[in-house]
Amino acid sequence: MAPILERIYRLLSSLKGGTMVPTEIVLSAGSYSQIVTELSEKLGTQGLSHLQVAHHLALPLSIEQNNTDLVILKELIPNPCPICHHRLTFLRETIERFENDASHSIRCPMGHRYQGELKVYYLSIFQGEGVEIEKPVTVCPECGNENIQYLGPKVMFCLDCDWDSGMEPRYHIQR
């Protein structure tokens, strides 16, 4: 079994350049203590604080009893802008602004405002543990990019557009 930190790093690095932004990591108490141990060994220190661990991961970190060992991702739809077709920039700030704005409008880099929705995904850190995934799809049939994320042998989605392999939605839409 790969160390938890390595699994988190791999998951986060697979999302780079996509439209989904990791916003939080939720861990069980056991996984959290394992991460503290791994980080202590890696950094050669003793007794890391919760704030130091969250700072190292560069994401807010919470410890829960249920529904844990997840990376929470958020995505604004539509992206790119339906008016000028520019991709949204500064996604974290744009998502935060969208969440705090009751009008549910998105502002693109060119200043256009349009109605949108926020999708929240919950990706398990341990999904597919110990299973080698055969990857039959390497190019997205929708947009043609090679940025496919696998969640299981037949469960995949594109990080660049809305295409997925028919997975059952595991997100909440905030309106």
Region of residue 42 (phi > 0: left; psi between -120 and 50: alpha; otherwise: beta): alpha
Checking if the pLDDT of 129 tops 60, the result is no
pLDDT of residue 88 exceeding 60, the answer is: yes
pLDDT value at 130 more than 80: no
Those residues whose C-beta lies under 8 Å from the C-beta of residue 57, and which sit 6 or more positions away, are: 8, 25
Q: Which two tokens stand for residue 27?
A: 């861990």
The pLDDT of residue 17 is: 75
> Which structure tokens are listed for 140?
């997205």
**Residue 161 Cα distances to 50, 128, 143, angstroms:** 35, 23, 7
Helix, strand and coil percent figures for the chain, each rounded to 5: 25, 25, 50
Q: What is the mean pLDDT of residues 20-35?
A: 91
Domains identified in the chain, total number: 1
136 pLDDT exceeds 90? no
pLDDT for the residue 135: 65
Burial of 26 (0-12, 13-18, 19+ CB in 10 A): buried
The pLDDT assigned to 131 comes to: 41
Q: What DSSP letter does each residue of 8-34 carry, written as one string?
A: HHHHHHHTTTSS-EEEEEEE-HHHHHH
Q: How many CB atoms lie within 10 A of CB 3?
A: 14
pLDDT of residue 133: 47
Count other C-beta atoms under 10 Å from residue 20's C-beta: 22
User: What would the two tokens of residue 18 be?
Assistant: 């996509």
The band of 82, judged by pLDDT with boundaries at 50, 70 and 90, is very high
pTM comes to: 0.68
Average the pLDDT over 90-108 and give the result. 90
Confidence grade of residue 2 (pLDDT, cut at 50, 70, 90): low
Range of the domain at 157: 4-174
In angstroms, the CA 2 to CA 125 distance is 11
